[in-house]
Structure 1
């Protein structure tokens, strides 16, 4: 466990899988639905989680490419505990391939991906920059989800644009009982990090 009192967050190794870490606020914050992360001056938990991805890299024992590193925050329906926690891990190989295939359609405005990820509809938008200067939660709430943010899950993955400049892709999915979508963006991550380790199959999340 690694705590940062200045940022009021703590980094914890997840017990399932070798490479996943969880970033959690020290303060009581229930999750994506809580109003606290959206208040002016609130910590940018996604930015802190992105900076902490070197823990996953150290666990892997090899470089973690930008486009493989990812962060996920599940909806209340798609999570197992009621304290905000951001999963830091590798993208699944099939998700990485799907994003590469749809890269030309990605832009700075939210729009649905032409092809589902893991069988679920995801909205996507890009964000420029080496670091997460903007708060992805605010972009989700202000541009897409509105007051319905508690029905959504948010994933942030590193990307590079066509000019090779660093940035991110934000992926959001909404709870849909009709299709069995619990809005658990963690489904896009692989706890075995097969894309780098050569593991025979992805390691799914546990509930």
Structure 2
């Protein structure tokens, strides 16, 4: 994908087959072949995945924030507005991914997951704590953040700096970001 999108953008100012190419910002957005509205955000340079030390460097773009900014492609494809509360951003752990290049899934949240997060809204703290009852049969850590926090600080850095021993085992973690009904966001992390 990158071999097509970057040259087309640089030579012809056409991002196809990607939806968006931002060489200076270091990312592309393209339509995932899985799911009618699912998109992927990927860096334009080599980052394997959550285990990459590059994700913990201050100069590395905040790929989750960039993915949040790209959520409008889903509405454009659908032909109607998709509410922010229906959008999820997620990255798989090293063992849970199919590609050896970092990619953040931009997609719709499952209704049952949305309902559970709504029910747990008041129990999700501003610190990483276990999500009561887990999620879809898995144990998760959850943390509430503001939109400003998401814009200013990468969830990768939050996890590495705030969860004991996470920095040394980042590749084990899958991460997700979901907008809550009170306009906060919930970060979800699980080891897989």
Regarding TM over 0.5, the answer is: yes
CA RMSD, Structure 1 to Structure 2 (Å): 1.2
Q: CA deviation at 1:73?
A: 0.6
The answer to whether residue 167 in structure 2 is matched with residue 146 in structure 1 is yes
The residue number in structure 2 matching 1:117 is 135
The residue number in structure 2 matching 1:192 is none
Higher relative helix content: 2
The residue number in structure 1 matching 2:84 is 66
The residue number in structure 2 matching 1:133 is 152
The residue number in structure 2 matching 1:173 is 190
Q: How many residues align?
A: 171
Mapped to 2, the partners of 1:11 and 1:18 lie a distance apart of 15
Q: Deviations over 1:105-131 (max 9, x none)?
A: 012101111112111011100111266
Mapped to 1, the partners of 2:26 and 2:167 lie a distance apart of 26
Secondary structure at 2:68 match in 1: helix
Q: CA deviation at 1:146?
A: 2.2
Identify the match of residue 12 of structure 1 among 8, 15, 30.
30
The answer to whether residue 180 in structure 2 is matched with residue 159 in structure 1 is yes
Q: CA deviation at 1:61?
A: 1.8
Query: What does 1:14-93 correspond to in 2, within 5 Å?
Result: 14-93=32-111
- Name stretches of at least 5 consecutive residues in structure 2 with no aligned partner: 1-17
Q: Deviations over 1:157-197 (max 9, x none)?
A: 11243xxxx2210000012xxxxxxxxxxxxxxxxxxxxxx
Contact 2:121/2:180 (CA < 8 Å) preserved in 1? no
Q: CA deviation at 1:77?
A: 0.4
Mapped to 2, the partners of 1:7 and 1:160 lie a distance apart of 30
